[in-house]
Amino acid sequence: MKRVALAILVLGLAACKEDIATIAPVEMTDEALGHYCQMFVADHPGPKAQVHLKGHSAPLWFSQVSDAVAYMYDPERDAEVMGVFVSDMSRAESWALPGLDNWLASGSAAFVIESDRLGGMGVPEAIPFGSTDAAAAFVADHGGRVVAWDAVPEAYVRPDMAQMSGHQAHAGADQ
């Protein structure tokens, strides 16, 4: 009886490990809609994010990475997050064309925050790079600082919108 219970436990743990191992980014298509804005993600410049949830066949798409960070802080999020992938801006063609398939796991990216570049929705962005060196080079050109995924502050991705007038909120969006 103990052997049967042990076998069931081992198989169950192996199945969980297999589920996590199979999570992979998907290529962004022109039909991908932003989770919050319900606008076409590809229509916005700058880095993107996709969040994979347990029990969901398609990821949630985000028009900018900061929105995905805000989603992770959301206390009303009810599904288990299985994986988060972000655009690798060191492999992007340009700010306007961040790429359809150059994804990296959020935990392995170096993020630039507090730079002079705004995200696709015209608010502060957490800009992901596949290496700390690429992030540091971006900081040299655009200011900011380099942090890890789990060190992007909630206050940064949820700025006090009352403090931002229309012009301030969109300053630099076309840079």
81: Cβ contacts below 8 Å, ≥ 6 apart:
51, 52, 53, 54, 72
Give per-residue pLDDT as tens, 110-154. 999 999 998 877 889 999 999 999 999 999 999 999 999 999 999
pTM above 0.85, yes or no: no
Q: Where are the domains of the chain?
A: 41-155
What sign results for the dihedral spanned by CA atoms 78, 67, 84, 41? positive
For 62, the enclosing helix (H) or strand (E) is strand 60-62
Q: How far is it, in rounded angstroms, from Cα 17 to Cα 79?
A: 18
Considering the domain delimited by 41-155, tell me its CATH architecture. Answer: 2-Layer Sandwich (3.30)
Q: pLDDT tens for the chain, 175 residues: list them.
A: 554 444 444 445 444 444 445 799 988 887 876 677 767 778 889 999 999 999 999 999 999 999 999 999 998 888 999 999 999 999 999 999 999 999 999 999 999 999 999 887 788 999 999 999 999 999 999 999 999 999 999 989 886 644 544 434 444 444 4
CB 80 within 8 A of CB 115: no
Q: How far is it, in rounded angstroms, from Cα 45 to Cα 100?
A: 12
Q: How many CA atoms lie within 13 A of 45 on its CB side?
A: 15
Query: What is the layout of strands, in order, in the sheet containing 60-62?
Result: 60-62, 49-53, 81-87, 103-105
